[in-house]
Structure 1
Amino acid sequence: MSGSEHVVLSISGMTCTGCETKLSRTLATLPAISKLKTSLVLSRAEFDLDHSITSADNVMKHLERTTEFKCERVTIEGSSVDLLCSGNPADIVKGDWPDGVTDIKMVDKKNVRIDFDAKVVGARDLLEKGWPSPMTLAPPHADSTLDAGAKHVRHVGWMTLLSIVLTIPVLVLAWAPLPDKHRKEITHGSISLAFATVIQVAVAGPFYPKALKALIFSRVIEMDLLIVLSTSAAYIFSVVAFGYLVTDKPLSTGEFFETSTLLVTLIMIGRYIAAMARQKAVESISIRSLQTSTATIINKDESEKEIDARLLQYGDKFKVSPESRVPTDGTVIAGSSEINESMLTGESHPVEKVKGSTVIAGSINGSGVLTVRLTRIPGDNTICTIANMVDEAKLSKPRIQAIADKVASYFVPVVVAITVMVFCIWIAVGVAIRKQSGSEATIQAITYAITVLIVSCPCAIGLAVPMVIVISTGVAAERGVIFKSAEAVETAYKTSHVVFDKTGTLTRGILTVVREEYINPSANTKSLLLGLIRGSKHPVSVAVAEHLKRSGVNATSISNAKNLVGNGVEGTFAGRSLRAGNSRWLNTSAEPLVISVLSQGHTAFCFTINGELSAVFGLTDSVRSDTISTITELQHSGISVHVLSGDDKGAVHEVAAQLHISTSNVRAKCSPADKQAYIKDILAQRDPTKHGGKEPVVMFIGDGTNDAVALAQATIGVHMNEGTDVAKSAADVVLMRPSISGVLTIIAVSRKSIHRIWFNFGWSAVYNLVATLLAAGAVVHARIPPEYAGLGELVSVLPVVAAGVLLKWAKL
């Protein structure tokens, strides 16, 4: 097999930043892998794989062998369905595949996963096909991007419970009164040794291969190595001490199996709570959870049937009952209602839906009943598109992450070095100052070294950035703002200039013809114009075409009609050249009629035949309801606001005047290249009296194809989307509803995210400094006992998780 494919893996067993480093290093060594992205919080890895070198199965086997992680492949693109076989699934895999099926593979001993082209064959058709053995739809499973995390949490939970059950008897025996001291000590010690050994092998055992393989294969010294060193030291020391006790030569400290067992148990409790908190945080902002599980389809005989939503296919009609969730994207073909789309677009008011309206998967119907024609199947609808873009942002890493990664890479080696120093210092203190014997001083030094090893925790540093990015992008998505990269979250709060396109952004983009002038009025002129512009999607052309249709004009078929971005439309008819568009492109700006239209502040739309002006239209637009308040707030924040438009000067300056935007920041008659050049000029400026003399951060907000170049040129490109196909935008951020107040949400989310990231860094530094000093015995009469050092991970990580989760309730 040749070529390449995009592979997504769910990784089970990742617990700290060292795990992610190990994962990325292991995969990066494989020459077949490129464009690698990993995430600790999502427990995921994504990469492009060259099939001519190796297969995805081989990559997974290599990863599991060298890291001890468990891998599962996730399908996030295309269509697939899981079917339950009554016979042998292998017969299905080896048999003849129906048209449209691209792959069939066994999931387990009873299930097969069928990947298919939904445009050729539907999920319901596949279920009803005559397979060698009867097939039924497999039970639904959790969101594949969350499933691995949930499995990991359950596994850690069971191991934690086992550790607790075995530790309690050890603690009871250690703290119980001993009337016949020597005999009871040996009996209790024997029982404690047995329980401690089970804990060390069954619960702490998996840490050993992970730590060793990380050191050997990935050259990473990670948190697991600290756990291995500290718990092993405590356990081995207790075994040795018990041996001395049995030979009637007890050590002064005695054995302390309660230390090693309680240490492992507290570490497991900390990891379980931290893993559960991370999982709940990710689940709480999962966009895919909005997908409903059932749908009511309408058959050809108009009968209704409730089916699993996974079986919807192209050509289906479905009913949306009152107060129910829309199962997938579609177009209303009958009925009317109001739909709440706030969970996807952030729009607080219900949106009226009538025949011809589009409905979005996951939105909630009001009191009406709608009949809808499916346009996108559940596996490839708006929910999936948004969720994939949000996941893309979660997987991307902002520049500030490099700081955390750098610190984390040095953390464990530094802790090991500090541990050695603490061990040596306490031996010296015991022998030279406390006049202890060498063995007594060594025993005392070991307890301090163990505590330092385990109380230090790099997990808070590793989670400081990704935890906030995961929550903030999810919170923004719930408010109708889709961040497509983590860098946009990191940068937006520093915005110094906001540049708006006018039509469709500052204004509603719904233009109205208020004036029309014809040089030689005739039905033929109107028919030619309508035929030329009827296929154009530009707001001005659409408005003029609708105006002509309402006037009863019939379109003439035009040859070779084509759109010229930023200019207009051109074509030919009976040997004559037809053009319609702005006056600059058509060189009609000096015509008296055009001057008259422009002087009234209207947008001028001209039509020429063989270069001669034939018609002029004057159009007006109205600003959006939230435009003035948004612009005012931006200006009060010290952000410079600009307007660029391809529209005529009068119309642009009229809108700018309404919004109190300085004329020096307004440019009319702009081509896409002009917009790009204007943004370049702003980026080249650096005023030492403003913004701390730093480079300007320019945010551009546009809605049309002609804004693509400017979106790419700006520091942050924001696309205002009014449809359901948000994937077409190449911008850094997508606004899911037609409201520029989303710009304020972008900046607010960015600012609060950065504040929490720096809080996390600060907390991590303070915790590790204080904890290390207390563990090392640097504070007189205050130290952390070695058996309680396992609480370190819990104490360090939970505030970091909480700082991210609290973003859900932050005022934006």
Structure 2
Amino acid sequence: MATSEKTLQITGMTCAACANRIEKGLSKIEGVEKANVNFALESSTIVYDPAKTNVNEFKARVEKLGFNVVQEKVAFDISGMTCAACATKIEKRIGKMDGVSNASVNFALETIAVEYDSKQVETTEMITAVKKMGYELIPKQDSKDKMDHKEQEIKKQEKKFIISLILTIPLLWTMVAHFEFLSFIYMPHILMNPWLQLAFATPVQFIIGAQFYKGAFNSLRNKSANMDVLVALGTSAAYFYSLYLSIEWMNNGKVGSPELYFEASAVIITLIVLGKLFEVRAKGKTSQAIQKLLGLQAKTARVLRGSVEMELPIEEVIVGDTILVKPGERIPVDGEIIEGRSAIDESMITGESIPVDKVAGDKVIGATINKNGSLQITATKVGKDTALAQIVKVVEEAQGSKAEIQRLADKISGIFVPVVVVIAVATFLIWFFIVTPGDFRSALIPTISILVIACPCALGLATPTSIMAGSGRAAEMGLLFKGGEHLENTRSIDTVVLDKTGTVTKGQPALTDITVTAGFTEDEVLQLVATAENQSEHPLAQAIVLGVKEKGLSLLDVSDFEALPGYGIRANVSGKEVLVGTRKLMNDYKIAISDSNAAMEKFESEGKTAMLIAVNHKLAGIVAVADTVKETSKEAIARMQALGLEVIMLTGDNQRTAEAIARQVGLSHVIAEVLPEQKSDEIKKLQDQGKKVAMVGDGINDAPALAMANIGMAVGTGTDIAIEAADITLMRGDLNSVADAIIMSRKTMRNIKQNLFFAFFYNTIGIPIAAIGLLAPWVAGAAMAFSSVSVVLNALRLQKVKL
């Protein structure tokens, strides 16, 4: 069956349940092989047989379910861009097409993301429109193919540079004759021959430099100007003026040696090609995060089908397969353990360095490492549905998106080249008519220098390279920014609102305290209580049983168990009557509890659930259970406060329990007894006070509050982490990630500002210096090439950030 793939943009979803409903509805359409709805990205990817169904049926089904298909999304790789002006031009052209609501070009990644209405425009029209501009839109390649393409591009640039360098070195040697302080260097007379210089310069100008002429022609044909226009103008002026002087020298009987500028044009082109080589290599490094993530994937899986064990390529594993994983091996796909227990190293996915113990029933993530036990798992997600694939997709989309500061840089780049051409022409006229009247050579040199040094490559690379490096490094640390705008906006957060259960606390009750009265020992009372509670399914009972088992105590024989709803339990344990429950339960059985009042009130003031214990109608002690604070919460909150952030806890729990938890973690501001649907109202109140608010929650239950906040952060672990309903997914269940995300955002924005400073510095300083004749063209070429490289190298520093 020949299948096609379609991505629809869906609006109206309010929770993960909506996504599941749409997914089921689409899957029921005849001809649909697979439908995957991404709640966070509000999109659906459908694999289908075009002979049996079409896109209109998908839209009709989604609309019948009460949702809307407003836009579709498509992504292309772009071939032929040479600078930010090219990117701006393509973006404007696609953006003006009927049916296109948004087009975003990333110059550093050489990609474009388009949101459009297929009823008004087809992707083929986009490809044709861009082709007429002299560029090429290529259907999005997967990350591995793109890395291979990058390798080919690097080799191509290396070859160009080597050829250009070999031809340029003899011309560079002739520059020695221009400087008296280098007169001691031997200069072969033959190198001063204009025709020999022409022979060296021509292949560089028209073969190596063909890309600049082609780009300039396409740009001018589209009534705009880009970097290629500047390079073609500058180098052509030097080349053809030198050719004119060579012809004049021959007509004058070959007297003397004319002052030629073949070396200027050749050196400029060679330096720009070198800069492009560095740039391509560096841009490859900014995508290292994705390469590392892809490299984590297991290549094969040991699959058990029937009674036969076989080793299959990862692509052939299907949902439902039973997979055997030995100690030290990577888990090939997302799944659930059906047999065995082990510690799993999830550091490559969550950034958490301590292995996590897993037993039958626990979920495991593909690409994590099985440390010490043999496991059998059932595959639950494969291919593009795995957590790793979702993470790669989120990182790619974040790297391809635009921050607001980049949009400003793009606007400047769009008008920069025409302004520079005007400045260059004005400079030539001033020199030719005023400074050195009639001296063409003196007027030409500063003009060439201006055209060359002013190329806005660095300006175009300043923001996207930092976004790529910053979001990639963040992903390695377990922080998934779902767009460049979120990476930018997080830095401005001044207030962090934390959900309590599952965010500040573990979200699971645990045994915390035991006190006993005279005549009883702790171990004795714990054994009796745990044995009695083991018959109950109540979460607090299970917490007591688990806590006692962790202490190494065994359970006893039990009989005559009775649950007393609202009061507690009664059971006969090894011949002893055991009661566990409330004050009311004890009073009903006429057990004296007055001596326990102080301890009960103390536990309750700490936000714990305290239960009285009686053995054979005598008070034996008190057991306390609580949703305990995560070990890292207090430290993490202290880090946030040290960053100058106001930290608030928001919970539906009662005021006393909330304040008890707040005291443990060092918080003074608590908003308690808030219903889930009221949480977004509390966020709005804070925003009305002028605060920039980040909401930190579980990403689903807190969806309205996460959506209302300036930045929504989902704290989560598990296989669905990459599709949580938030702007940032914190892969670890650790609040330190909140501070890490804010620090990463601040460092990235600082890096972008440094890059923009470098880019503007080169141009604003270089152009006036060139205009007054103090900058040789070859120096201008070197400065221009170095400006792009320095910007990319500065961005790469983000990949070394340690938190």
Calculate the TM-score normalised by the size of structure 2. 0.74
Deviation per CA, 1:94-134, whole angstroms, max 9, x where unpaired?
Answer: xxxxxxxxxxxxxxxxxxxxxxxxxxxxxxxxxxxxxxxxx
> What is aligned with 2:144?
143
- Cα distance change on mapping 1:384 and 1:542 into 2, 3 Å: farther
> What is aligned with 2:775?
784
Residue 283 of structure 1, CA deviation = 2.4
> What is aligned with 1:31?
98
> What is aligned with 2:155?
154
Q: Supply the distance in 1 between the matched residues of 2:545 and 2:295 (Cα, whole angstroms).
A: 38
Q: Supply the distance in 2 between the matched residues of 1:280 and 1:185 (Cα, whole angstroms).
A: 40
- Cα distance change on mapping 1:772 and 1:252 into 2, 3 Å: farther
The answer to whether the 8 Å contact 1:173/1:192 transfers is no
Counterpart secondary structure, 1:508: strand
The answer to whether the 8 Å contact 1:21/1:220 transfers is no
Deviation per CA, 1:297-347, whole angstroms, max 9, x where unpaired?
Answer: 233354433332222222222233333322221122233322221121010
The answer to whether the 8 Å contact 1:513/1:543 transfers is yes
User: Considering only aligned residues, what root-mean-square deviation do their CA atoms show, in Å?
Assistant: 3.7
| 1:243 aligned onto 2:247 | yes
Counterpart secondary structure, 2:324: strand
Residue 739 of structure 1, CA deviation = 0.4
Q: Supply the distance in 1 between the matched residues of 2:796 and 2:383 (Cα, whole angstroms).
A: 29
**Given the alignment, which residue of 616, 619, 629 partners 1:623?**
629
- Cα distance change on mapping 1:53 and 1:290 into 2, 3 Å: same
| 1:684 aligned onto 2:727 | no
**Given the alignment, which residue of 359, 362, 371 partners 1:366?**
371
Mapping of residues 528-567 of structure 1, within 5 Å: none
Counterpart secondary structure, 1:705: coil
Q: Supply the distance in 2 between the matched residues of 1:315 and 1:298 (Cα, whole angstroms).
A: 10
The answer to whether the 8 Å contact 1:602/1:618 transfers is no
The answer to whether the 8 Å contact 2:173/2:187 transfers is no
| 1:42 aligned onto 2:109 | yes
> What is aligned with 1:520?
none
> What is aligned with 1:506?
504
> What is aligned with 1:711?
706
The answer to whether the 8 Å contact 1:513/1:620 transfers is yes
**Given the alignment, which residue of 466, 470, 473 partners 1:472?**
470
Q: Supply the distance in 2 between the matched residues of 1:774 and 1:654 (Cα, whole angstroms).
A: 66
Q: Supply the distance in 2 between the matched residues of 1:57 and 1:769 (Cα, whole angstroms).
A: 41
Residue 32 of structure 1, CA deviation = 4.2
> What is aligned with 1:319?
324
Residue 376 of structure 1, CA deviation = 1.1
Deviation per CA, 1:526-559, whole angstroms, max 9, x where unpaired?
Answer: 9xx97xx9xxxxx999989999xx99999xxxxx
Q: Supply the distance in 2 between the matched residues of 1:794 and 1:243 (Cα, whole angstroms).
A: 32
**Given the alignment, which residue of 739, 758, 761 partners 2:756?**
761
Deviation per CA, 1:642-685, whole angstroms, max 9, x where unpaired?
Answer: 111111222211101212322xx212211123211211111111
Counterpart secondary structure, 1:374: strand
The answer to whether the 8 Å contact 2:106/2:400 transfers is yes
The answer to whether the 8 Å contact 2:321/2:378 transfers is yes
| 1:11 aligned onto 2:78 | yes
Counterpart code for 1:482: L
| 1:642 aligned onto 2:648 | yes
Q: Supply the distance in 2 between the matched residues of 1:222 and 1:666 (Cα, whole angstroms).
A: 56
Q: Supply the distance in 2 between the matched residues of 1:638 and 1:708 (Cα, whole angstroms).
A: 26
| 1:72 aligned onto 2:138 | yes
Counterpart secondary structure, 1:473: helix
Residue 293 of structure 1, CA deviation = 4.9
Residue 421 of structure 1, CA deviation = 2.9
The answer to whether the 8 Å contact 2:700/2:724 transfers is no
> What is aligned with 1:86?
none
The answer to whether the 8 Å contact 1:178/1:185 transfers is no
Residue 358 of structure 1, CA deviation = 1.9
Residue 173 of structure 1, CA deviation = 7.2
Mapping of residues 727-746 of structure 1, within 5 Å: 727-746=722-741
Residue 144 of structure 1, CA deviation = 3.7
Residue 740 of structure 1, CA deviation = 0.6
- Cα distance change on mapping 1:718 and 1:246 into 2, 3 Å: same
Residue 221 of structure 1, CA deviation = 2.0
Q: Supply the distance in 2 between the matched residues of 1:788 and 1:18 (Cα, whole angstroms).
A: 23
- Cα distance change on mapping 1:541 and 1:492 into 2, 3 Å: farther
Counterpart secondary structure, 1:738: coil
Residue 352 of structure 1, CA deviation = 1.8
Q: Supply the distance in 2 between the matched residues of 1:743 and 1:220 (Cα, whole angstroms).
A: 45
The answer to whether the 8 Å contact 2:329/2:369 transfers is yes
- Cα distance change on mapping 1:64 and 1:152 into 2, 3 Å: farther
Counterpart secondary structure, 2:506: coil
The answer to whether the 8 Å contact 2:684/2:708 transfers is yes
**Given the alignment, which residue of 183, 192, 201 partners 1:196?**
201
**Given the alignment, which residue of 457, 460, 471 partners 1:459?**
457
Counterpart secondary structure, 2:353: coil
> What is aligned with 1:808?
799
Residue 428 of structure 1, CA deviation = 4.2
Residue 56 of structure 1, CA deviation = 2.8
Q: Supply the distance in 2 between the matched residues of 1:658 and 1:179 (Cα, whole angstroms).
A: 80
The answer to whether the 8 Å contact 2:77/2:141 transfers is no
The answer to whether the 8 Å contact 1:245/1:254 transfers is no
Deviation per CA, 1:600-655, whole angstroms, max 9, x where unpaired?
Answer: 565889xxxxxxxxxxx996200000111111222233321111111122221110
**Given the alignment, which residue of 272, 278, 283 partners 2:283?**
278
> What is aligned with 1:129?
none
| 1:351 aligned onto 2:351 | no
Q: Supply the distance in 2 between the matched residues of 1:795 and 1:770 (Cα, whole angstroms).
A: 14
Compare 759-768 and 728-737 and name the one that shifted more.
759-768
Residue 292 of structure 1, CA deviation = 2.7
| 1:674 aligned onto 2:678 | yes
The answer to whether the 8 Å contact 2:286/2:472 transfers is no
- Cα distance change on mapping 1:41 and 1:660 into 2, 3 Å: same
- Cα distance change on mapping 1:700 and 1:249 into 2, 3 Å: farther
Q: Supply the distance in 2 between the matched residues of 1:755 and 1:492 (Cα, whole angstroms).
A: 13
Kindly tell me the number of residue pairs found equivalent between the two proteins: 653
Q: Supply the distance in 1 between the matched residues of 2:362 and 2:393 (Cα, whole angstroms).
A: 25
- Cα distance change on mapping 1:242 and 1:713 into 2, 3 Å: same
Deviation per CA, 1:500-520, whole angstroms, max 9, x where unpaired?
Answer: 1100000000124899xxxxx
- Cα distance change on mapping 1:431 and 1:287 into 2, 3 Å: closer
Calculate the TM-score normalised by the size of structure 1. 0.73
The answer to whether the 8 Å contact 1:166/1:199 transfers is yes
Q: Supply the distance in 1 between the matched residues of 2:678 and 2:603 (Cα, whole angstroms).
A: 21
> What is aligned with 2:418?
413
Residue 211 of structure 1, CA deviation = 2.3
Counterpart secondary structure, 2:436: helix
Q: Supply the distance in 2 between the matched residues of 1:496 and 1:55 (Cα, whole angstroms).
A: 44
> What is aligned with 2:228?
224
Structure 2's unaligned 5+ residue stretches are 1-53, 57-70, 178-184, 514-532, 548-554, 562-599, 611-622
Residue 29 of structure 1, CA deviation = 3.0
- Cα distance change on mapping 1:321 and 1:444 into 2, 3 Å: farther
Residue 54 of structure 1, CA deviation = 4.7
Deviation per CA, 1:264-284, whole angstroms, max 9, x where unpaired?
Answer: 111111111112111122224
Counterpart code for 1:463: L
**Given the alignment, which residue of 658, 671, 674 partners 2:664?**
658
> What is aligned with 2:312?
307
**Given the alignment, which residue of 472, 486, 489 partners 2:487?**
489
Deviation per CA, 1:67-90, whole angstroms, max 9, x where unpaired?
Answer: x333321266xxxxxxxxxxxxxx
Residue 253 of structure 1, CA deviation = 4.7
- Cα distance change on mapping 1:72 and 1:655 into 2, 3 Å: same
Q: Supply the distance in 1 between the matched residues of 2:150 and 2:89 (Cα, whole angstroms).
A: 18
Counterpart secondary structure, 1:621: strand
Counterpart secondary structure, 1:42: coil
Residue 429 of structure 1, CA deviation = 5.4
Counterpart code for 1:357: D
